[in-house]
Structure 1
């Protein structure tokens, strides 16, 4: 008989949860794709309440065998969820799915919505989880490609553009301009929920991988036009820089600003001694971002599909 104890997670559980997630990664990918820092950041995500939104399942020996959570996105009806069960564990998955879907509906109701739009990310290689999501009523919504470039030689910084100046995020005015560009530049992107500056700033500050010096705002003739925010998310496991956000205001698209910032990020990562640069791109992006990245020398190395359903 399978007996599992399910409790709320604590910040101190990060290492134990990481051990569980690593086992799941290894079974699907053949390598660990999640760092301890990733898990630690999940547990202190400002929009995630450990007392209501997460569940850690343990076996009779106290070993974590299941990890599930639901996390709101601003004040929207969109809720991200995750369900992970240690390979070989029986009789647990269905209960965790029920918990996260029930909590997603509760979150939406608490925010004044009649239902929730629930998203879960699934590695393309994870046939078992894909089948589970489909059985729970989820359908494919979009796909994110992980793109990577490896530096075989130091990449050259881009040539200057007329009227372009670059400014880093240690300054609050620059951060506020970056927030503005991000919110407007991503307005039509899949799953994007606009948030005010304080929430935007709080979430990034809570991330252990954040580095405000890697936030760049591009101004054209003194006006904010584009932004790039890189961080250290892939330094511990891949020794690569990571472009978390790259956005251009609609009025400034087609001028090469995104490419300029991307090439600058490559050069900056190389100067830091990184092996390369990584980013994720939505294959259904409303702008031709995938073509930009491949033309700059990046290649796809992984696909993560987003599955969606209403509850």
Structure 2
């Protein structure tokens, strides 16, 4: 990221705010946590235009604005219409590790999107920029391609619908709730870090950062952290959350990780069934998760085999700047 912008986040020479007509039509400023309703208005309008319904809740948007990794004073922008003060667009550039920056550009107005694209890409220069695009979003796909982005991988959102779920068991395997035990929490952290080391976009985190990042989310719930041990040795973990509870009454598997040396023994299937059964007991209609189609493990086959079905595809586009 670079420093070539003024205190308002506007870069000299960038089309948009430097243009009198644009300046008269729009105000550009940094968003703050109290702007969550305005940002949600923009995001829900963009989602509805593509999917027919919002894909984020107001709480989800508030979590983004509260993310400790996102510096709102440097790396986020909110565009307001001067005519009525209503929100017209929003964008951010969020560093993920040393050399990848996740960006978002959201507006229903073409000239606003154009300025936001230029701004976030300039902010993310000298690294690899990536943006998630719904498969159905032809406009954003075209805009990403026109700016030199190409598809890097795809994530599928899968759903399992619940009636009654048998949690199941495996010989020699015990599954523990990890919350409340520092030892098991740290073991779950290690399993996640080692099990995901080769996954697309994975950013390693120490234990303190790992905990803090999860706890920054309003839908996080440590009681949904499970640790599976094989003959007493930590081997797999699953972390669920309430991300889809408010809008769809569904659970969400945020992470499922199995150490390489324990794969192929049914641990992933066992933890999924435990999560499904727990969601069914909570009265959830189903459980969601996301899986990388290019995963180094045959995860998609596993999820399909336990009755999950694809409901949405999200492509990740990348460009080296």
TM-score (norm 2): 0.91
Can you list the C-alpha shifts for 1:19-67, whole angstroms capped at 9, x where unaligned? Answer: 1111111111111111111101101111110100100000012111111
Q: By how many angstroms is 1:161 displaced?
A: 3.1
The match for 1:63 among 86, 101, 108 is 86
Q: By how many angstroms is 1:154 displaced?
A: 1.1
Contact 2:241–2:252 (CA under 8 A) maintained in structure 1 = yes
Contact 2:175–2:226 (CA under 8 A) maintained in structure 1 = no
Matching residue of 2:116: 96
Can you list the C-alpha shifts for 1:193-222, whole angstroms capped at 9, x where unaligned? Answer: 111111111100101011000011111122
Q: By how many angstroms is 1:160 displaced?
A: 3.8
Matching residue of 1:111: none
Q: By how many angstroms is 1:98 displaced?
A: 1.4
Q: How many residues align?
A: 298
Q: By how many angstroms is 1:165 displaced?
A: 3.7
Contact 2:177–2:223 (CA under 8 A) maintained in structure 1 = no
State the SS of the aligned residue for 1:211. strand
State the SS of the aligned residue for 2:120. helix
Instruction: State yes or no: 1:11 paired with 2:33.
Output: yes
Contact 1:189–1:286 (CA under 8 A) maintained in structure 2 = yes
Pairing of 1:63-142 with structure 2 (within 5 A) = 63-74=86-97, 76-85=98-107, 87=108, 89-105=109-125, 115-142=126-153
Q: Distance in 2 between matches of 1:163 and 1:141?
A: 37
Q: By how many angstroms is 1:171 displaced?
A: 2.1
Note the residue ranges of structure 1 that are not aligned, 5 or more in a row: 106-114
CA RMSD of aligned residues (A): 1.1
Contact 2:173–2:228 (CA under 8 A) maintained in structure 1 = no
Contact 2:192–2:237 (CA under 8 A) maintained in structure 1 = yes
Q: Distance in 2 between matches of 1:91 and 1:165?
A: 53
Contact 1:165–1:220 (CA under 8 A) maintained in structure 2 = no
Contact 2:177–2:224 (CA under 8 A) maintained in structure 1 = no
Instruction: State yes or no: 1:24 paired with 2:35.
Output: no
Contact 1:165–1:222 (CA under 8 A) maintained in structure 2 = no
Instruction: State yes or no: 1:149 paired with 2:156.
Output: no
Note the residue ranges of structure 2 that are not aligned, 5 or more in a row: 1-20
State the SS of the aligned residue for 1:192. coil
State the SS of the aligned residue for 1:92. helix
Q: Distance in 2 between matches of 1:161 and 1:277?
A: 26
The structure 1 segments of at least 4 consecutive aligned residues displaced by more than 6 Å after TM superposition are none
Q: By how many angstroms is 1:95 displaced?
A: 1.3
Matching residue of 2:267: 257
